[in-house]
Structure 1
Amino acid sequence: MTHSAITERFTKIKEEGGGKKAFIPYIMAGEPSVSETVDIVMELEAMGADIVELGVPFSDPVADGPTIQRAAMSALSRGVTLRKVIDMVKTIRQKSLIPIVLMTYFNPVLKFGLGNFVEAALSNGVDGIIIPDLPPDEEVDFTASCHKGGPDTIFLLAPTSTDKRIGLVSRQSRGFIYYVSLTGITGSAIAIDDSLKARIEKIRTISKKPVAVGFGVKTKDEAAAVAAIADGVIVGSAIVKAIGQGQETFRTLVKSLRAAI
């Protein structure tokens, strides 16, 4: 099996050692504009991001908090669709090979057409896909077709996940496993404590895949604490908010997060 760009990135980080972990910033595609999204990805790469998660705007983002919901509504008002987000990735690919993961809900993918999506993702340089409302035991044909040459399927685990669910997610995930640090929405407060460490250790007894932690990481101190126990740190709401506050705020936050992870 050929290794994906995401797997290769995690392998490279591990080989480099020195305590560095994967820094995975999330931004909303099309916010504040389509062209600026491409520029922001380039900036994130220049500041040391390892993988970029591109949010696909959706009208009912059940896993997202107010910051990302507002960004999604703003992008939707500009006519940003899954097709346009895939086109953005194609544009980015003319300038960069940074691994890109799309975070979308299942409805836009279904509307796009499952086979069409896998083909478009593959031909335009999408490396991975996260679908929060698609469990790993549903739409198994779609997941299998992704495994045959489409984007890496990245599934989610939560504090409530059973050993059986951890095993299933590990088998169906490619690239990395996304551990949701809390039973809430994006942007909620994270508790970095012994229970978080214990959950990650539990996942590692069942799976050899890298574990990246998201939901709730806002500050460099939180990022450093999560990086100490996980393979990657995903930061979304704080970065989306900083983009809205201007370039200086955005750059300061991203640089501090990169240094901490």
Structure 2
Amino acid sequence: MSEPSAIVPEGARGAVARLIDERRAQGSGILVGYLPIGFPDLATSIDAAVALAENGVDVIELGPPYSDPVMDGPVIQAATQQALANGFKLRHTFEAVRGITERCDAPVLVMSYWNPVQQYGVERYAAALEDAGAAGMITPDLIPDEAGDWFEASDRHGLERVFLAAPSSSEARLATVAERSRGFVYAVSTMGITGARADVDAAARGLVGRLRDAGAERACVGIGVSTAEQVREILGYADGAIVGSALVKALADGGVDALGRLAAELAAGKA
């Protein structure tokens, strides 16, 4: 297996990296919004993702439902379990990406646990993502040391690859993640599962600083982000803020209209 190149040519930057660089030049950052595919049904989940883009969310993070979601909190778990009960199939991932990219310009990142990708076939999965118009993939339970197949497939299909970093990560791990991520590094703001929190841990600021020292060009903060004030605070030191559970709850409680309103409120934090 080939090792990923440490240096990415300027022309090889993907859509998310380009967007972050543009916003940074303007003195701002990006807002990333997460939604599970197939909740409350496939068609509505596509409409919901488009509504995010129409209300100020810059990058859409799509989560294929998975039966063992080790990082997901109760809100997202409930949504993904409903999607699975409704008959979600892996092919719906690519249908959803295509349905969204045909209706809006926001880059789409698929957030997938690694086992379904392996079962589908890494090369086949990457090719399907490219064909559907995805920008790349976030892999929460894949570490760079075990990602040789993904390096090759993502490079071959021009896909950004986002690895996670946590406050507990060693300096060596941060350096590896910084070197091998494409697009940005996902900085986990706190240890634990997803879910809105009143305060995003101060550890997030320290983690982003450590990632910068380790060579990360771009870092976005997620886990626990739920208000415009938190978005504004995060964009003071990071390149992006990632919101998940709060958006899923809005969709569950009030449908696509409520989701759009919350997205617009969160986007106000970019100002």
TM range (shorter): over 0.9
Amino acid at match of 1:62: V
1:115-194 matches, within 5 Å, as: 115-187=123-195, 189=197, 191-192=199-200, 194=202
- Alignment TM-score, normalising by the size of structure 2: 0.90
Taking structure 1 as the reference length, the TM-score comes to 0.93
The letter for the 1-side match of 2:262 is L
Partner of 1:10: 20
Matched, 1:59 2:67: yes
- The match for 2:261 among 228, 252, 255 is 252
Letter in 2 for 1:57: P
Structure 1 residue 25 corresponds to structure 2 residue 42: no
Shift of 1:82: 2.4
- 1:193-240, Cα deviation, whole Å (9 max, x unpaired): 654322211211122421000001122222222222211000000000
Contact kept? 2:196, 2:226, Cα under 8 Å: no
CA distance in 2, matches of 1:207, 1:52: 25
Q: Which residue of 1 is the match for residue 231 of structure 2?
A: 223
The CA deviation at 1:32 is 1.3
Alignment of 1:14-93 (within 5 A): 14-17=24-27, 20-93=28-101
Q: Secondary structure in 1 aligned to 2:77? A: helix
Q: Against the structure 1 CA distance between its residues 260 and 107, is the aligned structure 2 distance closer, same or farther, given a 3 Å change threshold?
A: same
Unpaired segments of 5 or more residues in structure 2? 1-8
1:143 and 1:251 mapped to 2: Cα distance? 35
**Could you tell me how far apart the structure 2 residues matched to 1:115 and 1:12 are?**
31
Which amino acid in the other structure matches residue 205 of structure 2?
Answer: K
Following superposition, the deviation at residue 179 of structure 1 comes to 0.3
Q: Secondary structure at the match of 1:137?
A: helix
How many correspondences in the alignment?
Answer: 259
| Equivalent AA in structure 2 for residue 12 of structure 1 | E
Q: Is the 8 A contact 2:189 2:203 kept in 1?
A: no
Contact 1:99–1:127, Cα closer than 8 Å, also in 2? yes
1:140, 1:104 → 2: CA distance?
A: 17
Separation in structure 2 between the aligned mates of residue 95 and residue 252 of structure 1, nearest angstrom: 19
Partner of 2:4: none
Amino acid paired to 1:3: R
Assess if the C-alpha contact under 8 Å between 1:23 and 1:233 holds in 2: yes
2:5 counterpart residue number? none
Partners in 1 of 2:169 and 2:216 — Cα distance?
17
Q: Rate the CA distance shift 1:249–1:188 in 2: closer, same or farther, 3 A.
A: closer
The Cα of 1:172 is off from its aligned counterpart by 1.3
Aligned to 1:101: 109
Report the Cα offset of residue 178 of structure 1.
Answer: 0.1
| Distance in 1 separating the partners of 2:266 and 2:122 | 36
How well do the aligned residues superpose, as a CA RMSD in angstroms? 1.6
User: Secondary structure of 1:178's match?
Assistant: strand
Contact 1:179–1:214 (Cα < 8 Å) also in 2: yes
Question: Percent identity among equivalent residues?
Answer: 34
Q: Which moved more, 1:56-65 or 1:204-213?
A: 204-213
CA distance in 2, matches of 1:84, 1:51: 19
Matches of 2:259 and 2:149 in 1, distance apart? 40
Tell me the SS of whatever aligns to 1:81. Answer: coil
SS of residue matched to 2:44: helix
Hey, what's the Cα distance between the residues in 2 that align with 1:237 and 1:191?
A: 14
Q: Distance in 1 between matches of 2:261 and 2:197?
A: 21
Taking structure 1 as reference, are residues 208 and 139 closer, same or farther at Cα in structure 2, changes over 3 Å only?
A: closer
Partner Cα separation in structure 2 for residue 207 and residue 154 of structure 1: 15
Q: 1:16 to 1:243 in 2, by over 3 A?
A: same
**Secondary structure at 1:184's aligned position in 2?**
coil
